[in-house]
C-alpha cells in the first residue's frame, strides 16, 4: 500500500481548506466513489455482539477502524453488547464491559459478530437468540473469523457464500452444506451479509464496510492512519500450511512422502518416485490421488512451496529459496506462489520475513 505523506499529530491532511469546504468535498467524493448505504443524517450504529471466550482482536480491530473513521469525518456510534450485559471475559483473559443487548432497542445499522477459538465447538448460551433478535433490527450483518459459525447456526447464511478462518473452513462446509464456503477469501460480501477470514481479517472487513458507507477515499485514509493495506494482496491460503497431508495407508507411499518432506530439493520426478517405491508410475499416481488427494507432481510442488516459504520467512533471497526448495528458477517459484498463494515471492518475503537472515550453505569450509 502507498502509505502516502505523513503529517504531525493534529495537523489537517487537507491543509488550506475550511472545515465546511472539506465536509462538502468529502460528501461529493463519497457520492462519486459509490458508497452503497442509504444517506443518513444520524450516526450509523455499529453493534458488536460479544460473549465469554470471544477473541479480543476480533472485537478491537474493527472497533479501531470505525473509531478512526469517525475521527476522519465518518459518523459511527459503536455499542459493545452481550446477551446479558456486564463483563465478558475474552480468550486472552481480558474483561470487557458490555451493555445488555436488549438495551439496544432501536435500529442497528451494522451488527458485527466476532469469533472465538471455541465457537466452532460450542455456541454460548443465549447467543443465537440474541443474534437473531439483533439481526432482525439490523440493516447489515457481519461476522469476523469463526463468528460465521454463529451466523450459520442462526440460519443467516443459508444459500449464501461465506468466509471463515482457513483452519475451520472445511468444518463449516461439512456442517452446513447449504453454505458456499470460500476457504481462501479474506472476506466475502453476499448481499447485506459480510463474513471474514480469521482474526486480523476483521481489519479488512471493517475497512470494506467503511468503504461501502463512506467511499474509497475515506477508507484509504483510515488504512493509512492504521498503517495497513486497504485491500490486502492475496488470499488467506498464504497463512496456512500447504503440506497438511493425511497419513498414507500404503507403506511404500508413506515412505515416499517422508522422503519428499525430508529433502524437497532432491529428484522427486515420477519415474524416480516409482523406482523407489517399486511400483509402476500409473499405480503410484493412483495411490497419490486416492490417499494424498493430489498427483505426485502436485504433492511435491506443495512440499517445495512450503519449504520456499520457510526460507523466505528466514530471510533467504528469492533466488536462493527457489534453488534450495527444489523449485529451481525464480520464474518457477513465482508461478507457484501466484498459483497457490496469490502473491509474488518478493511480496511474501517483504511482509513475512523474520529479522534473522537464513544461513545459506557454501561450497567451501565454514570458517565461522
When divided into structural domains, the chain yields a total of 2
Residue 302 and residue 205 share a domain: no
Domain membership of residue 20 (yes or no) is no
pLDDT at 240: 52
User: Region 113-127: what's the mean pLDDT?
Assistant: 95
pLDDT interval class at 244 (50, 70, 90)? low
Considering the domain boundaries, does residue 24 fall inside one?
no
**Nearest-angstrom CA–CA distance, 64 and 59:** 9
> Cell for 175?
456442517
Examine residue 215 and state whether it is found in any structural domain, yes or no: yes
Poorest-confidence range of 183-197, 244-258, 328-342? 244-258
Q: Are residues 117 and 202 in the same domain?
A: yes
235, 269, 290: which is the final residue of a domain?
A: 235
> Is residue 360 assigned to a domain?
no
Q: Let me know if residue 30 belongs to a domain.
A: no
> Of 178, 209, 235, which closes a domain?
235
Distance CA 273, CA 252 (A): 10
When pLDDT is averaged across residues 231-242 and rounded to a whole number, the result is 60
156-206 residue pLDDT tens: 999 999 999 988 888 999 999 999 998 888 899 999 999 999 878 999 999
Q: Are residues 49 and 155 in the same domain?
A: yes
Q: What is the DSSP string of 185-200?
A: -SEEEETTEEEE-STT
Which of the pair, 233 or 362, is modelled with greater confidence?
233
123: helix, strand or coil: coil
Which of 201, 235, 269 is at the close of a domain?
Answer: 235
When mean pLDDT is compared across 256-270, 320-334, 353-367, the lowest value belongs to 353-367
**Count of residues for the chain?**
368
Residues 176 and 76 in one domain: yes
User: Cβ contacts of residue 136 below 8 Å, gap of 6+?
Assistant: none
- Whether 8 is covered by a domain: the verdict is no
Q: Same structural domain for residues 55 and 126?
A: yes
Helix (H, G, I), strand (E, B) or coil at 161: strand
Q: How confident is the model at residue 184, as a pLDDT? A: 82
Say which residue, 105 or 318, is predicted with more confidence.
318
pLDDT above 50 (res 354): no
DSSP three-state, residue 212 = helix
Residues 229 and 276 both lie in one domain? no
Evaluate if residue 243 carries a pLDDT over 80. Answer: no
Residues 126 and 44 in one domain: yes
Q: Say how far apart CA 274 and CA 302 lie, in whole Å.
A: 19
Counting residues of the chain whose pLDDT is more than 70, the rounded percentage is: 80
Q: 150 with 222, same domain?
A: yes
> Both 332 and 227 in a single domain?
no
Contact in structure between 198 and 205 (CB atoms under 8 Å): no
Per mean pLDDT, which of 21-35, 77-91, 207-221 is the most reliable? 77-91
Q: Are residues 334 and 319 in contact, defined by beta-carbon separation less than 8 angstroms?
A: no
pLDDT level of residue 12 (50, 70, 90 thresholds)? very low
- Answer yes or no: do 201 and 323 share one domain: no
Question: Where is mean pLDDT largest: 39-53, 58-72, 252-266, 305-319?
Answer: 58-72
Q: What is the CATH number of the domain that holds 286?
A: 1.10.10.60
Same structural domain, 111 and 229: yes
> Is there a single domain that holds both residue 212 and residue 272?
no
- To which residue does cell 495537523 refer? 11
Specify the pairing of strand 193-196 against strand 138-143.
parallel
Is 345:321 a contact under the CB 8 Å cutoff?
yes
C-beta separation of 86 from 98 below 8 A:
yes
Task: Name the pLDDT band for 341 (thresholds 50, 70, 90).
Answer: confident
Per-residue pLDDT at 1: 35
**Residue 214 belongs to domain with CATH number:** 3.40.50.880
Domain membership of residue 181 (yes or no) is yes
Residue 14 has pLDDT above 80, yes or no: no
Per-residue pLDDT, averaged over 288-294, amounts to: 89
Q: Cβ contacts of residue 134 below 8 Å, gap of 6+?
A: 47, 49, 81, 101, 104, 108, 111
* In a domain? residue 217: yes
Alpha carbon distance 159, 145 (integer Å): 19
Expressed as residue numbers, the domain containing 196 is 36-235
3-class DSSP state of 226: helix
Cross-strand pairs, 182: none
Amino acid at each position: 500500500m502507498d502509505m502516502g505523506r505523513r503529517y504531525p499529530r493534529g495537523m489537517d491532511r487537507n491543509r488550506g481548506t475550511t472545515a465546511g469546504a472539506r465536509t462538502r468535498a468529502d460528501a461529493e467524493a463519497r457520492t462519486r466513489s459509490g458508497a452503497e448505504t442509504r444517506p443518513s443524517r444520524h450516526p450509523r450504529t455499529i453493534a458488536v455482539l460479544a460473549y465469554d471466550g470471544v477473541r479480543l482482536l476480533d472485537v478491537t480491530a474493527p472497533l479501531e477502524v470505525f473509531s478512526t473513521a469517525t475521527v476522519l469525518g465518518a459518523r459511527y456510534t459503536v455499542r459493545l453488547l452481550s446477551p446479558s450485559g456486564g463483563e465478558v471475559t475474552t480468550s486472552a483473559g481480558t474483561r470487557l464491559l458490555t451493555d445488555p443487548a436488549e438495551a439496544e432497542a432501536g435500529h442497528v445499522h451494522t451488527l458485527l459478530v466476532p469469533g472465538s477459538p471455541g465457537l466452532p465447538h460450542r455456541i454460548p448460551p443465549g447467543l443465537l437468540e440474541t443474534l437473531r433478535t439483533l439481526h432482525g433490527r439490523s440493516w447489515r450483518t457481519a461476522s469476523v473469523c469463526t463468528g460465521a459459525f454463529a451466523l450459520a447456526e442462526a440460519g443467516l447464511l443459508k444459500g449464501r457464500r461465506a468466509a471463515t478462518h482457513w483452519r475451520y473452513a472445511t468444518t463449516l462446509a461439512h456442517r452446513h452444506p447449504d453454505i458456499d464456503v470460500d476457504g481462501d477469501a479474506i472476506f466475502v460480501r453476499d448481499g447485506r451479509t459480510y463474513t471474514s477470514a480469521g482474526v486480523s481479517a476483521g481489519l479488512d472487513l471493517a475497512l470494506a464496510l467503511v468503504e461501502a458507507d463512506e467511499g474509497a477515499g475515506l477508507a484509504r485514509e483510515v488504512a493509512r492512519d492504521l498503517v495497513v493495506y486497504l485491500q490486502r494482496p492475496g488470499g488467506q491460503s498464504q497463512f496456512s500450511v500447504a503440506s497438511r497431508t493425511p497419513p498414507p495407508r500404503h507403506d511404500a507411499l508413506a515412505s515416499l512422502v517422508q522422503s519428499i518432506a525430508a529433502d524437497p530439493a532432491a529428484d522427486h520426478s515420477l519415474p524416480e518416485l516409482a523406482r523407489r517405491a517399486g511400483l509402476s508410475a500409473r499405480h503410484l499416481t493412483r495411490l497419490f490421488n486416492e490417499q494424498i488427494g493430489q498427483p505426485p507432481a502436485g504433492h511435491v510442488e506443495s512440499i517445495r512451496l512450503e519449504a520456499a516459504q520457510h526460507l523466505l520467512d528466514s530471510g533467504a533471497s528469492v533466488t536462493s529459496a527457489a534453488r534450495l526448495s527444489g523449485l529451481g528458477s525464480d520464474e518457477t517459484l513465482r508461478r507457484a506462489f501466484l498459483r497457490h498463494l496469490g502473491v509474488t515471492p518478493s511480496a511474501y518475503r517483504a511482509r513475512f520475513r523474520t529479522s534473522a537472515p537464513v544461513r545459506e550453505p557454501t561450497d567451501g569450509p565454514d570458517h565461522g
